[in-house]
Structure 1
Amino acid sequence: MIELEFFSRKANNEILIYQMIQFSPEDPWRLLLDGELLGSMEKSEGTWRQVSGTDFSPSFLRELAAFIDQQNFNHLPLALTSRWGNLIHKVIIKSDREYLVVCKADISFRSFEGIFSKFVSGLLKDEWSVTFQVFNHDFSDDFTVQAKPTVRQKNKTGWDQQLS
């Protein structure tokens, strides 16, 4: 499940806090305000559309869609396959905290485990830990990595220092 908070300012400067929930990657996004379901929306063939509920204005639907599209959980699969494209076949989002990674055939799976475990944290942008369950090409072997985002802080000399 993925849960997001979307802040919107009304004409009178009142701020509304919407809750956006997606229970699984196959499900539409549900939009709630104060616990009341307003409607749902989904992206199909690259286009966002509302699938149920009170009609959202076209501009509000575009704002919601842009907000979802900008979230890091949407970009992380591409970042992983870009970084290790010769090793990773597919990345599947289970939630914003959990991903399945399927490797290509004819790679050194144990070597990849060491590399992936050491460097995947550098690709995380959100503030929470993420679990990666990584499988070899035929699902006969796997490993799990609980990755925490890398936090960088400038020290007194101006050089970045990595904190865990």
Structure 2
Amino acid sequence: MIELIYFSKAGNSKKAYQLIQPRRGEPWQIVDGDELIGELQQMQGLWKLRCQGDIPEGMCKDLAMLIESQQFNQLPEEIKTHWPGKVLEVIVINDAEYLVICQPKTDLERFVKVFAAYVPHLLKDEWAILFKIYDAEMSEDFEVTVQRGKA
């Protein structure tokens, strides 16, 4: 599950909304207090809003921008770009956990050492992130927990 907080500045008042994505790929739930007021989902590059309550004008665009700016949307591609010959796929479980699947014939132990030393420099989030690193056959794995700037 991923949770974000959106602060609305409608008029002179400020209000906080929760954005909750129970599982990757599912719509984002827009919650006001304890009331579900809508769902937001990206389909074919466009954001679709289903309202179940009052949502201020322009909020859909702001919510989409907030979601798109989060590191869990960019980090998988950054990792694959940094290690193109070693990383086959990066899968986001949530904003604090990722699966990294290596290319065939990658020396996994060696890669894990290099990955653990460098990946903290790619992180923007403040919290610890768990990377579960697998070989291409998913038969061998390592877990690495890192935090921004802390190798």
1:65 lines up with 2:64 in the alignment: yes
- Preserved contact between residue 3 and residue 20 of structure 1 (Cα < 8 Å): yes
Contact residue 96 and residue 127 of structure 2 kept, 8 A: yes
Partner of 1:89, secondary structure, is strand
Q: CA offsets, 1:8-65, max 9 Å, x none?
A: 1111x11010110011102110001112110111112211101452374662211110
Q: Structure 1 stretches of 5 or more lacking a match?
A: 151-162
Q: Give ranges in structure 2 of 5+ residues lacking alignment.
A: none
Q: Percent identity?
A: 33
**How far did residue 4 of structure 1 move?**
0.5
Mapped to 2, the partners of 1:95 and 1:121 lie a distance apart of 17
- Aligned pairs (5 A) from 1:69-88: 69-88=68-87
Give the RMSD, CA atoms, in angstroms: 1.6
- 2: CA distance between counterparts of 1:16 and 1:57? 11
The answer to which structure, 1 or 2, has the higher relative contact order (CA under 8 A, 6+ apart) is: 2
What amino acid maps onto 1:129 in structure 2? A
What is the distance in 1 between the residues matched to 2:133 and 2:50? 34
Q: What whole-Å deviation, never above 9, does each CA across 1:56-90 have from its counterpart, x for those lacking one?
A: 46622111101100111111111111111111111
Q: Which residue of 1 aligns with 2:104?
A: 105
Q: Is the 8 A contact 1:50 1:56 kept in 2?
A: no
Q: Which runs of 4+ in 1 moved over 4 A?
A: 55-58
Check conservation: 2:29, 2:40, Cα contact below 8 A: yes
- Cα distance per residue 1:94-138 (max 9 Å; x no partner): 000000111111221121011011111111101100000010001
Secondary structure in 1 matching 2:58: helix
Q: Look up the equivalent residue of 1:4 and give its one-letter code.
A: L
CA contact (8 A) 1:31 1:37 kept: yes
Query: What is the alpha-carbon distance in structure 2 between the residues aligned to residue 55 and residue 101 of structure 1?
Result: 40
- 1:1-164 equivalent positions in 2, closer than 5 A: 1-11=1-11, 13-54=12-53, 56=55, 59-150=58-149
Work out the number of aligned pairs and report it.
Answer: 151
